[in-house]
Structure 1
Amino acid sequence: MIHYIIQIMAYQLLFLLVYDGVLKRETFFNWNRGYLLTTSILAVIIPFIKIDWFKTAIPQDYVIRLPEVFIGNAKPIALNPVVIDAQQAIDVQWSWSSLLVLGSGVMFFVFLRKLFEIFKSYKAGEKQQANGVTIVKVANSKTAFSFFNHIFIGDLIEEQEQQTILKHEWVHVTHKHSWDMLLFEFFKMAFWYNPLVYMYQHRMTELHEFIADKEAAKQQGKKQYYLSLLSQTFNTKKIAFINPFFKQSLIKKRIVMLQKSKSKQVNLFKYVLLVPMVLAMLVYASCSQDNTAVSAEEAPQQQSILAHIEALKESIAAKGTMTPEEENALKALVVLTSEEGLNHAYYDAVKTDIEIPFGVVEKVPQFTDADCQGDKKVKTECFNWKMNALISGNFNTDIAKGLGLTGLQKIAVYFKIDANGHVTDVKCRAAHPELEKEAKRVVNLLPQMIPGEQQGKKVAVAYYLPIKFQVND
């Protein structure tokens, strides 16, 4: 839920930044209206859109993570278990959910109250029809606004000004601006905690006034229309989803926009910016999909296959022909994806290029002298115990003292037990090259082992081994 909310806010922020920085000053008011409507909806639905074509697997090394080897006094600290009350956790989650629902309920109540105010004005006012629009005269008032197919106008406004207002509000009615405002009211009820929704509504309100002013000024003339804007101050109801004729904070902007020269048609290309933005968001939303549907055993194999596919596509596209290495990689891919698996005819030619993830390997590698009987779990624990004994018994911790190192030292070791049982491809990472060298030396002391097996075939298996030891001052 939190991830979804963050995505919505991030998308809305990006859309609004583009609007304020690139589009807002253009006189393409209807285009801007479409932009705000479209992006406000897209920001809400994009997180739910998952397009398989966009999904790309990031290659990862899937290895067996061995238990940490603690040498000397570097023992793990035993902490008291932290007991979490399940009911307490549920209560906390319920509280947050309740807060969201409560906020939405309050906003819904406010929405109903606003509707009731409009309904009261409608019931009390004198009504008349004009070209399918209901004009409601509000007694003893200077209010002026429109709501869907209704125009509300106070009877204290002078007749001449009423005509100007009616032309303006007529545009709101014919352009169905109330639907826009209603949409943002629903967004406010669902996302009452999101300030960007309120910013969206404010910008839409501005656009509605610019559109109505532009159309009304065509009928009346700009000079006379300016005078109408400046000569009267109407008592506007503070209802967010109506279209008020006069709003103090917008008067200056409305006059500036009326005076502004029409934007050049070439500037319409700015709206093309929406395309790459939406594509980028779709890519992110698709790639951030939770992959829990793929089991832990299947995921490494799938990602390894995708990595091979991408590498082959790029290489073949660049050269037009395949090198022997690329041909072997393609054969390995065929082996991994075929129903025959490791029994495929290509396997013998490419077995050195294939590593089976620990999650799916049927028989894990074993020491030749290990008397370990039992299932895969028992054999794995036996392997770990012997590995720990070999490393801790042979690692020279005095090297760190000679280098002047103090405190807890950590070394990450990566290696592979190939299909012949030999330790290969040893790689280390530590605070000093000498520690890496020592770790590599100790790991290379491992004897030839019984290799892992998959589908009756001996296979290579990769490992990750963390080593820790304490150097006292």
Structure 2
Amino acid sequence: MIHYILQTIAFQLLFLLVYDLFLKRETFFNWNRLYLLFTPLLSLLLPFVQIGGIREAIPPSYTVQLPAVLVGGTQTSNAAATGGFEFPWMALWLTGLLVSIGWFIFKYFRIRKIRVQSSDWQHPKMRVKLIPGSNSAFTFFSTVYLGAELSEKQREHILLHEQIHVEEHHTWDLILFEVLRIVFWFNPLVYVFQKRIAALHEFTADRKVAMAKERNAYYQQMLSQVFQTDHISFINTFFNHSLIKKRIIMLQKSRSKRIFQLKYLLILPVICGMLVYTSCAQESDIATNETDNANNFVNGTNSEILDNIASLQEAIASQGELTAEEKKALKLLYVNAGSKGADNLHFDSKGGDQDKLAFAAIDKVPTYPGCEGQTNEAAKKCFTEKVAGFVVQNFNTKVPKDSPITGKQRIAVHFTITNTGNIENVRAKAEYPQLIDEAVRVVKMLPKMVPGEHKGKKVNVEFALPIVFEMD
């Protein structure tokens, strides 16, 4: 979820930069309106988009889960290490959501209160309410609210302006961003997008009124008086002090040349770049999920399923080779547990029979020195045995007597066998730094491998290696 949120924020930032740098100063108000409405929503959908062709065109990286290696002790148990504190992100989001909903309701009832206190004012084209003792002016949906203290001349210009807001349904745009602000209350870019479109609404209305009225008189009307207006984010206010200068500058601009509409094509390479990222990120997400599962295993997350998985891993490690029936059951378990089932890239269907799914989608797995010339399955078994033996032989199980390390400790190690056969990107997680350093040291000592291949290309392969260290 955190990854998804960061992606949407990054995408919205890119779209906003394109708007501010290239589009904001143009007078294509309708196009800009569509852009500001479309791109924030597109940013929410793009992280879910996968294009297989893009993913296949880029050299893949695969993650292989190795069985646990037992070092330092002769007995095994199912006891899990004590887990650490996990920040309550969901509770924080729900709290912000409830506060945002409360604030929205508060602002809505402020408008309702103004509506009740206001009197009807007859107008042939719009519903108009006069606010007693006020010189404010704003629109909410199909109703225009005017301060009763405004002069007739002021009302004439304001009503022309507010009529544009009513006819073009500008309030719906602001309500859309109010919903986004409630759900994504933590995302500052949603607030920026709402301010941009609110300003665009004013530019649009100003331009159309200036075409119907004498422009200099309209300038004077905006600058003639200081007006007090309550700021509510989902109403179109006529007298927004921070916008007056920008509105006048935009009114003075001549209409943009049609050739400048080509600027909107800038969105295409931006979207293409995002699609490449999201399509390729799906593979890394698989590795991330496996890493998270391993970390939960290491940190002792209080889950019956994780405890059972830990027991299964240790049982497999203790038994060594699985029977054909056990292998079939394990493969089906993984398929049924995954969100993509048999479409998971870690499996390759043979004849459409799920009972015959291959263990991994790699055509040729990396090979440990001395395991060459064997079948893929035999090479996997040889690789696993060699790595386990190497770790057991080289892991330093002696710890100082005053060390805080006690009992059984779990270490989650990840490393990459590159397309040149080198061991790189070694990292580990454990409760104690001494165990992390020792695990990284041992894995870095692994010999150079024969690289794995997929579809005729040498590929990087990610490995997850759980190590169970037990004090004698």
TM-score tier by shorter-chain length is 0.5 to 0.7
The residue type equivalent to 1:83 in the other structure is: A
Q: CA deviation at 1:52?
A: 3.7
The residue type equivalent to 1:273 in the other structure is: L
**SS in structure 2 of the partner of residue 146 of structure 1:** strand
The residue type equivalent to 2:20 in the other structure is: D
Given the alignment of the two structures, is residue 218 of structure 1 paired with residue 211 of structure 2, yes or no? Answer: yes
Structure 1 or 2, whichever has the larger Rg, is 1
Q: CA deviation at 1:357?
A: 6.8
Instruction: State the alpha-carbon separation in 2 of the partners of residues 197 and 288 from structure 1.
Output: 24
Unaligned 5+ segments in structure 1 are 68-74, 303-335, 341-353, 366-375, 393-411, 416-424, 431-438, 445-461, 466-473
Given the alignment of the two structures, is residue 13 of structure 1 paired with residue 6 of structure 2, yes or no? Answer: no
The residue type equivalent to 2:230 in the other structure is: K
Which residue of structure 1 lines up, in the alignment, with residue 191 of structure 2? 198
**SS in structure 1 of the partner of residue 146 of structure 2:** strand
Identify if the C-alpha distance between structure 1 residues 264 and 113 changes in structure 2 by more than 3 Å, giving closer, same or farther. Answer: same
Given the alignment of the two structures, is residue 240 of structure 1 paired with residue 233 of structure 2, yes or no? Answer: yes
**SS in structure 1 of the partner of residue 26 of structure 2:** coil
**SS in structure 2 of the partner of residue 153 of structure 1:** strand
Q: CA deviation at 1:63?
A: 10
Instruction: State the alpha-carbon separation in 2 of the partners of residues 61 and 153 from structure 1.
Output: 63
The residue type equivalent to 2:106 in the other structure is: R
Which residue of structure 1 lines up, in the alignment, with residue 360 of structure 2? none
Sequence identity of aligned pairs in percent? 39
Q: CA deviation at 1:294?
A: 6.5
CA contact (8 A) 1:27 1:263 kept: yes
Instruction: State the alpha-carbon separation in 2 of the partners of residues 284 and 42 from structure 1.
Output: 15
Identify if the C-alpha distance between structure 1 residues 301 and 258 changes in structure 2 by more than 3 Å, giving closer, same or farther. Answer: same
**SS in structure 2 of the partner of residue 364 of structure 1:** helix
Q: CA deviation at 1:104?
A: 1.3
Q: CA deviation at 1:258?
A: 0.6
Task: Show the 5 A alignment for 1:35-434.
Answer: 35-56=35-56, 58-59=58-59, 83-85=81-83, 89=85, 92-93=86-87, 95-289=88-282, 290-291=285-286, 293=339, 299=345, 355=364, 364=378
Q: CA deviation at 1:195?
A: 0.9
Instruction: State the alpha-carbon separation in 2 of the partners of residues 159 and 173 from structure 1.
Output: 20
CA contact (8 A) 1:63 1:357 kept: no
Name the stretch that deviates more: 96-105 or 58-67.
58-67
**SS in structure 2 of the partner of residue 137 of structure 1:** strand
Q: CA deviation at 1:279?
A: 2.6
The residue type equivalent to 2:364 in the other structure is: E
Which residue of structure 2 lines up, in the alignment, with residue 311 of structure 1? none
CA contact (8 A) 2:61 2:461 kept: no
Identify if the C-alpha distance between structure 1 residues 339 and 273 changes in structure 2 by more than 3 Å, giving closer, same or farther. Answer: same
Q: For residues 236-257 of structure 1, give each alpha carbon's deviation from its aligned partner in whole angstroms, at most 9, with x where no partner exists.
A: 1110110111111111111111
CA contact (8 A) 1:413 1:427 kept: no
**TM-score if structure 1 supplies the norm length?**
0.61
Q: For residues 59-95 of structure 1, give each alpha carbon's deviation from its aligned partner in whole angstroms, at most 9, with x where no partner exists.
A: 358799999xxxxxxx99xxxx99334xx65xx35x2
Q: CA deviation at 1:46?
A: 1.7
Q: For residues 106-136 of structure 1, give each alpha carbon's deviation from its aligned partner in whole angstroms, at most 9, with x where no partner exists.
A: 1111111111111111111111453452100
Q: CA deviation at 1:278?
A: 1.9
The structure showing larger relative contact order (alpha-carbon pairs under 8 Å, at least 6 residues apart) is 2
Q: For residues 255-299 of structure 1, give each alpha carbon's deviation from its aligned partner in whole angstroms, at most 9, with x where no partner exists.
A: 111111111110001001112222322332233234455789974
Instruction: State the alpha-carbon separation in 2 of the partners of residues 126 and 141 from structure 1.
Output: 12
Identify if the C-alpha distance between structure 1 residues 248 and 364 changes in structure 2 by more than 3 Å, giving closer, same or farther. Answer: same
Unaligned 5+ segments in structure 2 are 73-78, 287-337, 354-362, 368-373, 396-414, 425-446, 451-459, 464-472
CA contact (8 A) 1:146 1:173 kept: yes
Instruction: State the alpha-carbon separation in 2 of the partners of residues 167 and 153 from structure 1.
Output: 12
CA contact (8 A) 1:181 1:201 kept: yes
The residue type equivalent to 2:198 in the other structure is: T
Identify if the C-alpha distance between structure 1 residues 131 and 8 changes in structure 2 by more than 3 Å, giving closer, same or farther. Answer: farther
Instruction: State the alpha-carbon separation in 2 of the partners of residues 179 and 15 from structure 1.
Output: 21
Identify if the C-alpha distance between structure 1 residues 125 and 12 changes in structure 2 by more than 3 Å, giving closer, same or farther. Answer: same
The residue type equivalent to 2:175 in the other structure is: L
Which residue of structure 2 lines up, in the alignment, with residue 22 of structure 1? 22
CA contact (8 A) 1:142 1:153 kept: yes
Instruction: State the alpha-carbon separation in 1 of the partners of residues 150 and 275 from structure 2.
Output: 51
